[in-house]
Amino acid sequence: MRSEKINRVPLGLKIAAAAGLAFMHLPILLIFLYAFTTEEKTYQFPPPGLTTQWFAVAWNRPDVWAALTLSVKVAAIATAAALVLGTLCAAAVSQTRFFGRETVSLLIILPIALPGIITGIALRSAFSIADIPFSFWTIVLGHATFCIVVVYNNAVARFRRISGSLVEASMDLGADGFQTFRYVILPNIGTALLAGGMLAFALSFDEVIVTTFTAGQQSTLPIWMLEELIRPRQRPVTNVVAMIVVIVTFLPILGAYYLTRDGDQIAGAGK
């Protein structure tokens, strides 16, 4: 009797939780509706009519394609750099004990713990001091810096679960360090790295605050969207692009979740 009473959900809690979740999801669903609206000049609701013509218009826009390509390229290279650096760091922190270990963890988290504008303006002033012109690589440099932490978090969580005796057994059987890494460690951390990489990709693909400071004249997809937000030129195209961005970022997140859901620590718990 007692436990039954305790396990029944209070109505107030149910309503509050449902309302909270609705608050989180309805605005995103609205994006999907607006991608089909026939209204061009305003954000009128309800939409006067529905059409799919804006998808064709957006498809034929070279500036959208250029921004999309740049974003994908930047995200891919930044993710690759973050994968290498984050994994190295995670291996060092989880497999060994050394002086200043806590400091290293703090240093990795710092780029996303401090507001993005600080990272952005710091990089920008450093570029101007060192006379580095803005380019594709300055964007990548900034993105890789804050993507390291995502890979690191995922890899560290997985490294903790690999039992040390597994590595010792491999060594006892005569494998050298590289073979142990290739045949024992890598298969164990593989999915965590893939998940971390996907999240890093999503993070980089979506980043705007640091990018505004490191991009110069080029525009990534988020920069393109920001310009449309400040000075709208063709609202329906923006609507369509917004919807596509939602879909493109959802896929890696779902993928990362399914890759790590059996673990005690699931990917993406901290952005």
Partner 1 sequence: MTVVAESFVLPERRGTAGRLSDFFWRHPHVLLTVLLGPPLLWLGIVYLGSLFALLLQSFFSIDEFSGLINYEFTLATYRQLFSEANLDIILRTVSMAALVTLVSALVAFPIAYYAARYARGKWKALFYLAVMLPLWSSYLVKVYAWKLILAKEGILTWFFEKLNVLWLLDAWLALPVVGGNSLSVSYTGTFIVFVYVWMPFMILPIQAALERVPANLVEASSDLGGTPAQTFRHVLFPLALPGIVAGSIFTFSLTLGDYIIPQIVGSSRLFIGQAVYAQQGTAGNIPLAAAFTVVPIVIMGAYLWMAKRMGAFDAL
**Dist CA 218 CA 142 (whole Å):** 14
> Which of 72, 77, 85, 132 is in the footprint of partner 1 by CB under 8 A?
85
Residue 50 DSSP SS3: strand
Task: Kindly indicate which of the ranges 63-71, 161-169, 189-197, 253-261 contains the residues binding partner 1, using the contact rule CB under 8 A.
Answer: 253-261
Q: Does 104 bind partner 1 (CB under 8 A)?
A: yes
Q: Does 10 bind partner 1 (CB under 8 A)?
A: yes
**Dist CA 82 CA 108 (whole Å):** 11
User: For the chain, how far is it from start to end, CA to CA, in angstroms?
Assistant: 42
Count residues near partner 1 (CB under 8 A). Answer: 87
Closer to partner 1 by Cβ: residue 51 or 94: 94
> Which of 225, 237, 240, 259 is in the footprint of partner 1 by CB under 8 A?
225
Please list every residue from 27 through 56 that binds partner 1, using CB under 8 A.
27-28, 30-31, 34, 42-46
HSE, side-chain direction, 13 A CA sphere, residue 239? 29
Task: Kindly indicate which of the ranges 6-14, 55-63, 155-163, 183-191 contains the residues binding partner 1, using the contact rule CB under 8 A.
Answer: 6-14
Task: Kindly indicate which of the ranges 48-56, 59-67, 141-149, 183-191 contains the residues binding partner 1, using the contact rule CB under 8 A.
Answer: 141-149
Please list every residue from 185 through 214 that binds partner 1, using CB under 8 A.
199, 202-203, 206, 208-209
Question: What is the smallest separation between the CB atom of 161 and partner 1, expressed in angstroms?
Answer: 18
Task: Kindly indicate which of the ranges 60-68, 71-79, 143-151, 162-170 contains the residues binding partner 1, using the contact rule CB under 8 A.
Answer: 143-151
Please list every residue from 150 through 169 that binds partner 1, using CB under 8 A.
none
Question: What is the smallest separation between the CB atom of 24 and partner 1, expressed in angstroms?
Answer: 4
Q: Are 234 and 42 in contact (CB under 8 A)?
A: no
Residue with tokens 């923006």: 238
Q: Are 195 and 255 in contact (CB under 8 A)?
A: yes
Q: Are 119 and 142 in contact (CB under 8 A)?
A: yes
Tokens for 218? Answer: 């080029």
Q: Which residues of 181-198 are buried (b: 16+ CB within 10 A; e: fewer)?
A: eeebbeeebebbbbbbbb
Q: Does 11 bind partner 1 (CB under 8 A)?
A: no
Task: Kindly indicate which of the ranges 50-58, 159-167, 184-192, 262-270 contains the residues binding partner 1, using the contact rule CB under 8 A.
Answer: 262-270
> Which of 2, 49, 52, 262 is in the footprint of partner 1 by CB under 8 A?
2
**Dist CA 154 CA 264 (whole Å):** 11
Torsion angle, alpha carbons of 133, 137, 139, 145, to 10: -120
